[in-house]
Structure 1
Amino acid sequence: MAGQESLTLAGVLRGHNDMVTAIAAPIDNSPFVVSSSRDKSLLVWDITNPSAAVASDSEAAPPEYGVPYRRLTGHSHFVEDVVLSSDGQFALSGSWDGELRLWDLATGRTTRRFVGHGKDVLSVAFSVDNRQIVSAARDNTIKLWNTLGECKYTIGGDLGAGDGHTGWVSCVRFSPNPLAPTIVSGSWDRSVKVWNLTNCKLITKLEGHGGYVNAVAVSPDGSLCASGGKDGTTLLWDLGEGKMLYKLDAGAIIHSLCFSPNRYWLCAATEDSIKIWDLESKQVMQDLKPEIQASKTMLYCTSLSWSADGSTLFAGYTDGTIRVWKVSGFGGYAI
């Protein structure tokens, strides 16, 4: 039963020297992840042999879960987001330097730059077929690009469509549902908007948050959307019906949301802990907290990503460390 499962800390990934802003795991479960950071770089991590790390008998601190084998540099400001192509060959990043970059992970080189946003890029995403790219920024716009780096459409802003957001667009995602090709965006104007991918027209405006929206996530089947931010509540939306289903109280500002790929769980990174909700019972099944809170500065999770098989939760923190949590039955490190 899912409700009887739990997560335990399996190890850490250390290599960034500033906040980890995003983590991307490949959909074929290959043994690597890519992370972005406010240290202006991305790291590619080799996690080929995490079992060796888990076997560590150290009681003082969790073991190293993997090693960084390539650092991707080129952005001139904080790197705010990173996603992977479905074949795992390319990473796409967005930065406060106003640009997106497409990286060839085999060489570590930038193969394409996407220039067009007037301010910091806050979120990027690949379509399921990798043929389209969407980005969101502090210029209040959403841009749709092809993989050649050509902007095909701009939603919002002075030159864009009239239904655009009136605040920073903090997060944007493609729905994985092939029968309903849509984009979902969250904004500092407190709204979540659903867009038709075919013509970039607004389908639904979802309202209900009492503060800015930091994060949106779409369920693996594309039927649900979760949103969260300043007001400390996660709202669950039916994307097909365009209506709110229910609220989940996180109790603190939400920085990241992600659905488990194979369990009916929703995870929220808050300034207090990582909350794992069982969506069947709508109860918090676990509160995950780091192994130490000795630092004078507040330590909290800012980014989340599940492995494709749902066994491993990667969590990036303000201290530059990625903490790796394992679902019971997959091996873990008791703290």
Structure 2
Amino acid sequence: MIADQEAVLATVRSVEQAAMEWAAAERSEHFLWEAPRLTAVEAALRLHPEIGGQPKGDRGVSPVHLDPAAQAFLAANRARIRTRRRARVAGIAGIMSVILVLTLVAVRQQLATDEAHLVAQSRKLANTASQLRDSDVWLARQLSVIAYNTSATAEARASVLDSSAGHLVTRLHSSVGVRGPHTLAVRPDGRLLASSNQYGNVVLTDATNPQRPTVRGGLQAGQYAVLTMAFSSDGTTLAVGGVDWTVRLFDISDPTHPRLKEPLLRGSPAAVQSVAFAPDGRVLAAAHADGTILLWDTARHGRLGDPLIAPSRLRPHPAVRAAAFTPDGRTLVAGSQDGAIWLWNVADPHRPRLMGPAPAGPRGTVFSLTISPDGRTLAAGDDDGKVWTWRLHEGGIRGRLDDPLIGLASYVNSVAFSQDGKALAAGGSDGTVLVWALPNREPVATLPHPGQITAVRFTTGGAAVATASYDGTARLWAMPSPVLAGPAQGVFSVEYSPDGKTLAAGSRDGNVWRWDVSAQAPPCPAPSDQHAERAPS
């Protein structure tokens, strides 16, 4: 027993001595140990890797206590070993990628010997693209291009033209590619996009050019699903909340090096469903699944006042699914699982005052809500595919605006106004995003996805719509993207007039269609008795 204890103490001294040398060398990795030695030392010290390297007694041997420097030294050793393992995995993946590329090249060379087979493959790809065009626009576009590159068949040309006629969409390369909860937030200037996944990973992407988004940085917000994110009005702070009951604030003044602000905000034992900053950035509202809303002082990281709990006959209290501040910061609006939308006067966040509910609205769960930039309109999505709107004023809600917007076939998981307030977008569990022009409430875009929508936001000046889907992918849709209406069947050829003011297209329906494209406005049929001319047979 004594001999064992002496051996452990000797090992401790060796670790502490190595830690001192490592620190004196400015923590150079050359002073770190290889895996076998680290494993032997951890075994000798009875360290438990699953609990962060904390010592654990065994067979009567007293547990040891390492000083902070030694613990940091062992942690650095573990981190380097993990990094090396990831590098090996990445290397194997790279080799497999090279093998895959070489295999595809070999297959293509083999196919080149059989033109008939290439034509058949091209037609098959074009047909697949046509089938996917109503669910995955990006993949359909890629398959169309591949079909045309395989063989320039008439079907491939028509597929490329049909894909080009739709909305331009780009998948973010930062997408983690795992199915599950996936949300996003857009900085108020519309140029930086944060996207997350179910493992706490958040990627920051420059979305200034929707067709060429660039990854700027990333951060880790715990180990579990991120359910909600929001930027402060000055764009320097990102709030992240999720299933671990916690709200984390990150300083993203430099997106390439985000920094966690401590302490963490944790005040309710329930998942964080929604976070929202007040316009001045000094107050953060966090809505929880237990029906409470907590107000936080973002400078001191302290609670403001008592939890906000809306009246309800249901027990336990229904979850609060969405929350938002009005642009003047005086009113907080929240929607809950029982279909109610409540307003609080938070002019004094230390003493918030319940103002009342919204009249005549959803009867089921309120999954999302948003307030127009001018503060005059409140929009909320329910579990029946409807988007409800109300007129706001300083004293609360003045009344409902017309009938709800319809078109989605399932839960409306996210709603968003464009920065100029001239458009409203809504995404549902049916995999569709609808965009309406305001104030005439006319639908202007339908954006299909292969999975249910979890978030939708507008980027710079409404130039693009950012969406997140349950398939684990974030997308950027260029707006506006006019569609030339007319042809009832596939388009096989297009041609501009010599002056560039008219576009003509020939379609399978036997007509030649012409549009005036000389103005900045959406193209319209070219002035003539008929904008479609029957092609000679």
Q: Is contact 2:181–2:225 with CA below 8 Å preserved after alignment?
A: no
2:182 to 15, 21, 29: 21
2:328 to 153, 163, 177: 177
Distance apart, 1:244 and its partner CA: 1.6
Q: Is contact 2:374–2:421 with CA below 8 Å preserved after alignment?
A: no
AA aligned to 2:185 is A
Q: Is contact 1:141–1:154 with CA below 8 Å preserved after alignment?
A: no
Separation in 2, partners of 1:163, 1:76:
33
Partner of 1:225: 378
Q: Is contact 2:198–2:225 with CA below 8 Å preserved after alignment?
A: yes
Partner of 1:194: 343
SS of match in other structure, 1:309: helix
Q: Is contact 1:125–1:135 with CA below 8 Å preserved after alignment?
A: yes
Q: Is contact 1:25–1:308 with CA below 8 Å preserved after alignment?
A: no
AA aligned to 1:202 is L
- The one-character-per-residue Cα deviations of 1:157-198 (angstroms, maximum 9, x if unpaired) are 5xxx768993100011111135xx101101001111111012
Question: Which structure shows the higher helix fraction?
Answer: 2
Partner of 2:466: 314
Gaps of 5+ in 1: 1-5, 55-64, 294-298, 331-335
SS of match in other structure, 2:270: coil
Partner of 1:3: none
Q: How does 1:189-268 map to 2 (within 5 A)?
A: 189-198=338-347, 199-206=351-358, 207-240=360-393, 241-246=397-402, 247-249=404-406, 250-268=408-426
* Structure 1 residues 171 and 135: alpha-carbon distance in aligned structure 2, compared to 1, 3 A threshold: same
Instruction: Tell me: higher relative CO, structure 1 or 2? Use CA pairs within 8 A at least 6 residues apart.
Output: 1
Q: TM-score, normalised by structure 1?
A: 0.82
Higher alpha-carbon Rg:
2
Partner of 2:249: 102
1:141 to 289, 292, 302: 292
Distance apart, 1:156 and its partner CA: 4.0
Distance apart, 1:101 and its partner CA: 0.3
Q: Tell which deviates more after alignment, 218-227 or 281-290.
A: 281-290
Partner of 2:6: none
Separation in 1, partners of 2:285, 2:274:
8
SS of match in other structure, 1:21: coil
Separation in 2, partners of 1:163, 1:127:
25
Q: Is contact 1:80–1:123 with CA below 8 Å preserved after alignment?
A: yes
Q: How does 1:154-165 map to 2 (within 5 A)?
A: 154-156=306-308
Count of aligned pairs: 299
Distance apart, 1:7 and its partner CA: 8.0
* Counterpart check, 1:87 vs 2:87: no
Q: Tell which deviates more after alignment, 18-27 or 226-235.
A: 18-27
Separation in 2, partners of 1:212, 1:69:
36
- The one-character-per-residue Cα deviations of 1:79-110 (angstroms, maximum 9, x if unpaired) are 11111122222211111100000012233231
Partner of 1:42: 202
Distance apart, 1:251 and its partner CA: 3.1
Separation in 2, partners of 1:19, 1:67:
23
**Cα RMSD for the two superposed structures:** 2.4
Partner of 1:118: 269
AA aligned to 1:243 is G
- The one-character-per-residue Cα deviations of 1:274-299 (angstroms, maximum 9, x if unpaired) are 01122333332221113xx4xxxxx1
* Structure 1 residues 153 and 9: alpha-carbon distance in aligned structure 2, compared to 1, 3 A threshold: farther
* Counterpart check, 1:11 vs 2:170: yes
Partner of 1:333: none
- The one-character-per-residue Cα deviations of 1:115-168 (angstroms, maximum 9, x if unpaired) are 1011000100111111111010111101111012211123445xxx76899310
Separation in 1, partners of 2:189, 2:166:
22
Separation in 1, partners of 2:398, 2:229:
28
Gaps of 5+ in 2: 1-164, 483-537
AA aligned to 1:150 is G
Separation in 1, partners of 2:481, 2:420:
15
Q: TM-score, normalised by structure 2?
A: 0.52
* Structure 1 residues 248 and 130: alpha-carbon distance in aligned structure 2, compared to 1, 3 A threshold: same
Q: Is contact 1:142–1:154 with CA below 8 Å preserved after alignment?
A: no
Q: Is contact 1:141–1:164 with CA below 8 Å preserved after alignment?
A: no
Partner of 1:288: 447
Distance apart, 1:320 and its partner CA: 1.4
Separation in 2, partners of 1:221, 1:7:
31
Partner of 1:75: 222
